[in-house]
Structure 1
């Protein structure tokens, strides 16, 4: 089973030994995990050290290391240079993709995100939910009307309360959102590289300083899964990250969603989405494999309270 390894304690040393990622403190080993089981490593503690052969071994397996700032937002990610056997051809097709195709792909992504937001609000019996289906249908190629932003202005007050403001540098619920998004961003970035695509070449996000623009594009429909968990945690009085809460977020990659009539974990759904994007570039047709919104029962699973052991 793939696992998210979160490092939040200062003074730890990460290394590789006989196929394992080992964690030591003051030269004493305090934990280990098989490298083949590592989905991603998330580093929050800036006083940690690691070995170069560990970074290389994780890269060979396509497992990213995500470096976060004090607000749990990603600031750097390590990923392999090569992996997919047809990587050169796919990257060429990605680079050569015309604006019409990119706009069609972004239209599909924005529609999926707004539909997910509406589904979450509907599950919470929020009156504003009914407007989101209409907003999703109105999204045109390239989203020239910026309906994504219009939906966001309605979404956050409806979901988190009128006083809430999405601020990546704030604590509380915002820090929880940052951490959850970091987990899913790492999952999507891993899937992108495994599909033979370059994470810097985005569909919509094109900031020169963003080395993972494509990951920021494809992660959009997944974000409401994090939002649902954060709302549930805040309702339970949780507003700070501790090991139990981090485990809840890490298990998001195993949460099942329906893609093409089949149930798949989020990690697999990300892979299918990235592979379908690669095919879209190769065929010059928008053929994204997007997942369906969860059922009411599935949304409720995300909201289950923590028990004393930190399990859902």
Structure 2
């Protein structure tokens, strides 16, 4: 089973030995996990060290290390140079993709994101939910009217309350969102590289300083899953991260989503989306494999209350 490994304790040393990730403190081993089981490492503790052999071993398995700042927002990610066996051809197709194709792809992604936002609002009985179906239908190729931003302006107050402001440097709900998004970003970035695509070449995000623009494009429909969990945690009085809360976020990669007639965990849904994007570049046809919003029972499962008797 793939696992998100969170490193939040100061002064740890990470290394690899005989196929295992070894975590040590003051030269004493405090934990180990098979490298093949590591989905990603999220590192947001100061004073930690790691070996080059570990970074190389994780890269060979396509497992990223996500470095976060004090607000749990990602600031750097390590990923392998080589991924898919036909990587060169796919990257060339990605680079040469026409503007009409990238606009169509972005249209599909924005529609999927708005549908997820509307479904989450509907789950919570928000009266604004009905407007999101209309917004989704209005999204045109390339989203020239920036309906993604218009939806966001309605979404956050409706979901989190009129006083909420999305601020990556703020504590509380914002810090929880940062951490959840870091988990999702790592999952999508891994899928992008495994599909033989270059994470820097986005279809919409194009900031020169963003080395993971494509991952930020594809992660958009997954974000409301994080939002749903954060809202549930806030409702239970959770305001900061602790080991139990981090485990809840790590479990997101195993949450099942419906794709066609099948149910697939988030990690597989990200892989299928990235692979379908690669094929779209190769065929010059917008044919993304996207999941549909969870039904009421799915949202219920995702936002279930914390178990006070769960093992630490």
Query: TM-score, normalized by length of structure 2?
Result: 0.99
| 2:76 aligned residue | 76
- Long gaps (5+) in structure 1: none
Q: Name the count of aligned residue pairs.
A: 312
| 2:233 aligned residue | 233
Structure 2 counterparts to residues 48-127 of structure 1, below 5 A: 48-127=48-127
| 2:279 aligned residue | 279
Deviation per residue, 1:107-146 (Å, 9 max, x gap): 0000000000000000111100000000000000000000
| 1:184 aligned residue | 184
Distance in 2 of aligned mates of 1:226 and 1:196: 26
2:6 paired with 1:6: yes
Would the aligned equivalents of 1:248 and 1:311 in 2 still touch at CA under 8 Å? no
| 1:269 aligned residue | 269
Structure 2 counterparts to residues 192-271 of structure 1, below 5 A: 192-271=192-271
Distance in 1 of aligned mates of 2:227 and 2:25: 34
| 1:166 aligned residue | 166
Cα offset for 1:309? 4.0
- Long gaps (5+) in structure 2: none
Would the aligned equivalents of 1:101 and 1:286 in 2 still touch at CA under 8 Å? yes
Distance in 1 of aligned mates of 2:284 and 2:304: 42
Cα RMSD of the aligned pairs, angstroms, is 0.9
Deviation per residue, 1:215-251 (Å, 9 max, x gap): 0000000000000000000000001000000000000
Distance in 2 of aligned mates of 1:309 and 1:5: 22
Would the aligned equivalents of 1:245 and 1:310 in 2 still touch at CA under 8 Å? no
Would the aligned equivalents of 1:115 and 1:136 in 2 still touch at CA under 8 Å? yes
Distance in 2 of aligned mates of 1:309 and 1:228: 22
Distance in 1 of aligned mates of 2:84 and 2:302: 33
Cα offset for 1:311? 6.8
Counterpart secondary structure, 1:127: coil
Cα offset for 1:47? 0.8
| 1:147 aligned residue | 147
Distance in 1 of aligned mates of 2:234 and 2:25: 33
